[in-house]
Amino acid sequence: NPTVDKIYVESKDAEVESYGLFDLKGQMITSDVVNTNKIQISLRNFQSGVYVLKVKTSAGTSVRRIIKN
């Protein structure tokens, strides 16, 4: 982090069920239901700035700040 193009998420202990990417106003930018251990999220079409990534797994929810250059 920061990133220019893609975000990679890998969960070794639990399956990623879904994710949501939000701007700092709390508006959802993109989301998906995935049900896998590895995901790739393209940020190519998004403006530079700070985003919040919320990842839901079978073990709980994780929230991370993402910076796109």
Distances (CA, A) of 34 to 2, 4, 49, 68: 23, 23, 25, 22
Please answer whether residues 3 and 69 qualify as being in contact, where contact means their C-beta atoms are separated by less than 8 angstroms.
Answer: yes
Q: In the predicted model, is pLDDT for residue 1 greater than 80?
A: no
- Res 12: pLDDT: 87
In the chain, the largest separation of any two C-alpha atoms, in whole Å, equals 32
Would you state the pLDDT for residue 68? 96
What pLDDT does residue 62 have?
94
Q: What is the pLDDT of residues 11-54, one digit of tens each?
A: 888 999 999 999 999 999 999 999 999 999 999 999 999 999 99
Task: Give the per-residue pLDDT at 2.
Answer: 86
- Torsion of Cα atoms, 45 then 43 then 29 then 17, to 10°: 140
